[in-house]
Structure 1
């Protein structure tokens, strides 16, 4: 009888009986076991989400946006942090799938490990921010990273900067790498040197020192496109430590459109897309795969420039 009241069926319950059951539930503090219910029904209103590091600004904002989109769709999110480890990423995906989540949103890490796919999860999977590995039958929702990198470089070129460097990660594939490729496309198209690239790892203090060493060089760039907002903020901090004025001595553009970019000093020019748009597209794609059970087309979301003072814009 309790099940019929909580699940609104499958058999009707008299109004007086329903009232008595609800009163008893309130008095006893009963809460349904959602995991057990999911195991019985082979589905649940939960979404598994795996990200590299939810404490990093870009992923933190993406997580919150996915939670908002899922909640609007009457779903909740179970989160796992892979710690930039492919093995941990796959383990979280398998564990979440075993809990009978309605699907998994997988945000891959940009590391140099093999691009494997957690096999036979048994639930719908959508790759978010990172294209699915080649040969994997799962859709992806990504940003127009290469186009965005090109737009950033073109904007700096329009300001008249000639020595434009690129600060990027160590991985040769993935969204950050694609942004660096877009920067190189624009530099070559403008007949400018596209060799001023600096690659940094995940150790932020070490990366900061590498940036400072780069900016101390006699032939340092007069502008930097950083392929992630976090890297761009490191450039701003390094410039301040070295006594370089931004943008007078060094212009800086980032990528990500994160909240910290708007509150840096000077405010950071960045490329990006609303996190809510990004998350909504991913949650909708997961629902579509779940309902239709067929391969869906990959989505590439357009990005735009957000001009601020760090590049020389008013």
Structure 2
């Protein structure tokens, strides 16, 4: 089907390449610079077809500063490498697609792995987003340890500080819980009343075992102490290039206990990236040689 012609003036040209500008000017050079900066800052690889996403997400930042050209916004960023605006820039370009018990086959395996432990159990969720994943981990472990929440801890990190703020609040719409088992909802959520009608909060017994903190996986130091029984790094590696994926996996290896598990996303294959891990089950890995 033929697309309608764009109205006059809705297209501009930079170095011979058309660029959709709408009310703000985004040139091809600007888009290339944005792709470079987010890769340098967060390791995220933005494909060519993400141009419209970049425009829509960063347009709010330009309007906030009263700017009409992306080039002016980028110049402001680069003049102040330590400015807080970098955090807003990174947050805007971070994708947060998540749900409770997403890729559900992982959680019975986590429960089985934890049930054989006599000591404490530690998990690092390396892409916490808005909290659904780390809370799913914590609910699973709370059931394993029969409510003895002192037996486990979940460290939940993400580069997106806006998402982490929502995660710490631990409040979700009833619709987000629709597919969860009724017994699980009764055990681990508090239903809102009055002005909180239609919302649910993670039970304090669960939320107090999850520690949220901001972390960039590209940072030279992660500040992680001790070893983990399990690391969840699901559906985040797909945004990195292969060299970045390899470096991150090599840094995960010494943080896992000898019989620890590394959980990946359904579209990620770590065996083809690093020799440090071998496949144990469906997108679940152990340290090589174990």
| Global fold match (TM > 0.5) | no
- Which structure: larger Rg? 1
TM-score (norm 1): 0.35
Give me the TM-score of the superposition, normalised by structure 2.
Answer: 0.37
Higher relative contact order (CA 8 A, sep 6+): 1
